[in-house]
Amino acid sequence: MRTLTIILLDGAVFAAVLFLISVGLTLVFGVLRILNVSHGGIYAFGAYLATFLALRLLEIGGSPYLTYLMLLVGPVIVGLIAGPLIERVFLQRVYGRAEAIQLLLTFSIFLILDDLMKLIWGTKPLFVSEPYKLLGEFSIAGIRYSWYQVLLILVSIVFGGALVWAVRGTRFGKIVVSVINDREISQAIGINVNRIFMVSFTLGAFCAALGGALVAPTIAVVPGFAVDATVLAFAVIAIGGMGSLEGAALGALIVGLLRALAVHLLPEADLVVIYLAMILVLVARPQGLFGQVELRRI
């Protein structure tokens, strides 16, 4: 019972982190139909900028509680700058082009962002622990957890619910769904499709940066730290279904629980079980558990 409790809690924490990373990825694919490899670079940029702002705040004597605000300010800045810049300057030139070209372009942007972060912040690790320590700890089955980890779970649930409401319950969301289903008809009835693409990519960039910023207090932010998480995010949306918000949530939960199960029972296979599950899903249902074969859906 003790091991099961630990596995469930560890799995939920890891699933929350993965959901924050993958939800922006699946949102961009659902609207723009582009598999955005640069998502990992934006995720890392959000972590770096939020950590940098929090450290600067502490250096000038600011209240440690304001570091939580910096974890939100950083992603907003990254989303508002990187989102429109990447979509308008690069991505709009490859809409409708071969998927290989889109992949190479976004991978190139990922590499550029990676070098840009090294130029700005160097190669030394950045770490801000105040947001993690301020909330304190609690113990379950003899294992100590931080309330910050519980906060990550709550934020992912609230953020996911807000995204579903924004897409399904608002006028903007209905316009987005119209663009997804038929771009030409949407243009014919007066919808500015290019603006919807830019806003959707900016929202996806904000999601990525927010995921990085919220994860930053639990890790040391160093060059290349985002690669593993980004690869796992692709596994999440492959399992859940590309372009599906519900699929991202279910995929993150499956991957999180499988990884926690393997870490505690068979640590040598913690990645094998994840990719084996992905292969099984893709063989049985290539579009993923919530993916659609013909209709586009987010």
Cβ contact 155:17 at 8 Å: no
Q: What is the pLDDT, as a whole number, of residue 255? A: 92
**Pairing mode of beta strands 143-146, 137-140:** antiparallel
Of residues 167 and 105, which shows the higher confidence score? 105
Quote the Cα angle for 139-2-255, to 5°.
90
Query: For 207-231, what is the mean pLDDT?
Result: 89
- Decide if pLDDT at 297 tops 60: no
Average pLDDT, the chain: 88
Task: Report pLDDT digits (tens) over 4-55.
Answer: 888 888 889 889 988 988 888 888 888 888 888 999 999 999 999 999 999 9
Q: What is the pLDDT, as a whole number, of residue 81? A: 94
Q: What is the pLDDT, as a whole number, of residue 294? A: 56
Please tell me the least confidently modeled range out of 51-60, 73-82, 120-129, 223-232: 223-232
Residue 208: partners with Cβ closer than 8 Å, 6 or more residues away: 21, 24, 25, 39, 40, 42, 43, 46
Please tell me the least confidently modeled range out of 90-99, 175-184, 286-295: 286-295
CA 236 remoteness from chain centre: 10
How far does the chain reach from its first CA to its final CA, in angstroms? 37
Burial degree of 238 (CB within 10 A; 0-12, 13-18, 19+)? buried
Q: Rounded to whole angstroms, how far apart are CA atoms 103 and 34? A: 8
Q: Rounded to whole angstroms, how far apart are CA atoms 150 and 7? A: 15
Burial degree of 217 (CB within 10 A; 0-12, 13-18, 19+)? buried
